[in-house]
Amino acid sequence: MKDPPRMPSRFSQPRPGSRHAQDLSEGGTRLSSPGDGSSGISVGTIVLALCGLVLVVVVSAGLIVHHAADVPANGPNPTPFWPADGTAALLDGAAALVAGQPPDADAAAAMARQAILQSPLNPMALKVLGDAEAAKGNNAEATRLLRLAAERGTHLPALQIWAINDAAKSTDYDRLIQRIDLYLRKTADNYLPDFVLGPTPTEVIATLVGISGDPKAAPAIRSVIDAAPHWRGFYLDQLAKEGQLGAFETIAADIDVGDIAPQWRLYLNRLIDNDRALDAYALWYQFMDHGQELYETGNYLFDGGFERADDDNMPFGWTIFPAPSTDIVYDHAVRSGGSSSLRITFASSTPFWNVLQSLILSPGNFTLSGSVKTLSLRAARGLQWRLYCGRTTFTKIGESPLFSSGTADWTTFSIPFTVPPEKCDNQLLRLEVPARIPAERAVNGTIWFDDLSIERRLDQ
């Protein structure tokens, strides 16, 4: 029987200083050829086993080198079984030479190259070499090395920060946003190790917010955030509060409103506060699934019957804030009309102005009306619906009677008010405890409201 071909006796090794050892993009250990012959399954199995073993060793070594790159020269070994790769001292020394006054860039570069020969998979060795080349004025070579380091060191925030700044300088928005996404995914919950110097995730988000108003950047941003990365909510919060007006509605156009309702609320309120209430109303009306039945004929108040409990506190619907020792709910059991009412149960002596709705009324005469019911209500001064021009000046233009004490079945109330022709482009309806002194804040008991409406008066 013909003998099977012999397996090679050893692995081929790269020569120190060779291109194979220096170029990370081509790095790795090669197996020498086993020959052309094949005589049995056992030989193939052995070859596969050896290949698998080599792959395990190479991958394991790479992971350990990556971990060791973050270990200080005098720090502990990264694991009890594998020592650090030995480059930490070289890289610390090279970095110190680069940072020196004056820098010794040639010596630093020599030490960095030695570290690369010793640990070809270590991206920090490339970074330090790139820094040394930059110190020598070789900016093109420094950029090439640092970009290669960033590609290899996706787990290292310092390298990703450099890559973000590099992409920002070139206004390569696709690359910039990909780098920002990678960085933020690697720093979940805004965590950064203490030894990483550079921008925090919050500052990186601010960079993204800053370019969001650029039409060239918007498509790349939308393609990333449409995939709902974990940082999307925080980014949209900041964009709604601090971004260029108009950018939020462009970036968020393809996202379901229900998924980002808190951010839309922030943005619409910001528009109102910046004297753009009409723009805010147009956006709200465009994307909200209102149900036209909630706008009764002639009623300028949205959902005056408190039928819709899932409007996410948008400004032109009911905005309801929680209050201490106070229960505010839509009550389906007690109602004057429709299927529910607003019920508020008090056991409090704190300020209250927690139920409100923004309005867009043209100048003229109107009537606010509604139904009210009370149960064991005791209020030092009472509760009252008040109407104001705007949300910053709070010029009062109308108020309901005071609802102060006792138990009473459903009764109606009605008040006239006038929207002036100037400085009143938008209005606010708000339920308050109009206390003049702290003692008048005390309220106990329950009150219901239903069938609220604002209608234009025909006597003008």
Residues contacting 188, CB < 8 A, separation 6+:
230
Statement to judge: residues 11 and 94 lie in one domain: yes
The total domain count for the chain is 3
CB contact at 8 A, 235 and 208: yes
Statement to judge: residues 127 and 172 lie in one domain: no
Residue 25 per-residue DSSP state: G
Q: How many CB atoms sit inside 10 A of residue 84's CB?
A: 22
* Residue 299 included in any domain: no
Whole-model pTM: value is: 0.68
Residue 121 per-residue DSSP state: T
Statement to judge: residues 235 and 380 lie in one domain: no
Statement to judge: residues 267 and 398 lie in one domain: no
H-type alpha helices, 170-200: 173-186
Statement to judge: residues 101 and 175 lie in one domain: no
For residue 76, cis peptide bond before it (omega within 30 degrees of 0): no
* Residue 294 included in any domain: no
| Domain range enclosing 146 | 1-153
Q: What is the pLDDT along the chain (460 residues), one digit of tens a residue?
A: 444 444 333 323 334 444 433 443 333 333 333 344 444 456 566 656 666 665 554 445 454 444 444 444 444 433 322 235 568 888 888 889 999 999 999 999 999 999 888 888 888 889 999 999 999 999 999 889 988 888 888 777 778 788 888 887 877 889 889 888 988 887 654 444 443 445 678 888 998 999 999 999 999 999 999 999 989 999 999 999 999 999 999 999 889 988 999 999 999 999 999 989 999 999 988 876 554 444 556 789 998 999 887 667 888 989 999 988 899 999 999 999 889 999 999 988 888 989 999 999 999 999 999 999 999 999 888 899 999 998 767 799 999 999 988 999 999 999 999 999 998 999 999 999 988 898 888 899 999 999 999 999 886 5
Statement to judge: residues 148 and 170 lie in one domain: no
Q: How far is CA 245 from CA 80, 208, 410, in A?
A: 55, 15, 45
